[in-house]
Amino acid sequence: MEGLIAEHISKTYLESHGLSFEALKNISIKLEPGSFTCLVGESGSGKSTLARLLVGLEHPDTGKIFLDGEDTTNWNAEDWRKHRRKIQAVFQDTGGTLNPMLSVRRNVEEAMINLTDMTRKQRRERIGELMELTHMDSRLLNVPARQLSGGEQRRLSLIRAMSIYPRYLVLDEVLSGLDFISAEAVMTVLEQYHKEFECAFLLITHDIDSAYRLSDTILTIQCGQIIRVGIKNTKKGS
């Protein structure tokens, strides 16, 4: 059973004064290998909660999540570490993935050293390929991440995630807050990478135009529930 699959998952958070907030309500989705799916919805609709559950940062209260047939629902951090090469995530806030004190090269190489058996030569070649793909100047390789612009940091997070050849990539609002040029650069990277490598994408966004441009399938989420599923009749670029 291949794919990243959520079956009837729900998630509720406790708030102050004993109140509770149901972020997700009985959601089921399947991300097929090689597919490009977009999840669109307004702020507070449950998009980011779903992303965190899919990549193991939180556990669902009910339901199950499968990664290529393996039930991840109750995996601990060590279980996820063993499978992290297969699935990666990039969030709007790059602070959780990038070390601002390390150079661009070291930020990417750390993931490759920890999660792959690539040689130093292979790592350097892979980083060079991705720097070119993302239109990042190679002169930035030795620059600390903190000196990059917001758009450059977002692209660096993508490079870091893509460097280990993940099978599934969850992108949470990676276009949000970027100027037009930076957003266009990121979308071009996603299109090119999806075309060249066998990687399934789940792009979480509130921008329906970007979703339509990039995806094969568009899921609309509202108040913690999938209310609409749209499937394109033609392939992207046709």
What is the three-class DSSP state of 8?
strand
Q: What is the pLDDT of residue 238?
A: 40
Q: Is 135 exposed, middle or buried (CB count within 10 Å of its CB: 0-12, 13-18, 19+)?
A: exposed
**Tokens 């279980």 correspond to what residue?**
79
Asked if 175 and 186 count as a contact pair (C-beta separation under 8 A), the reply is: yes
Q: What is the pLDDT of residues 23-42, one digit of tens each?
A: 999 999 999 999 999 999 88
User: β-strands 225-231, 4-14: how paired?
Assistant: unpaired
Amino acid 73: pLDDT: 93
pLDDT digit string (tens) for 131-151?
988 888 999 999 999 999 888
Check residue 140 and give its pLDDT.
95
Contact 158, 122 (CB under 8 A): no
State the pLDDT at residue 233. 62
Residues listed for the chain: 238
Contacts of 114-117 with C-beta under 8 Å, sequence gap 24+, read: 115/84, 115/85, 115/164, 116/85, 116/164, 116/165
Instruction: With H, G, I as helix, E, B as strand and everything else as coil, classify residue 9.
Output: strand
The pLDDT, as a whole number, for residue 192 is: 86
CA separation for the pair 188, 133 (Å, rounded) = 9
Q: Which residues of the chain have pLDDT under 50?
A: 236-238
Q: Please give the Cα distance from 60 to 134 (Å, whole number).
A: 34
CA 221 to mean position of chain CA atoms = 17
Domains of the chain with bracketed CATH: 4-231 (3.40.50.300)
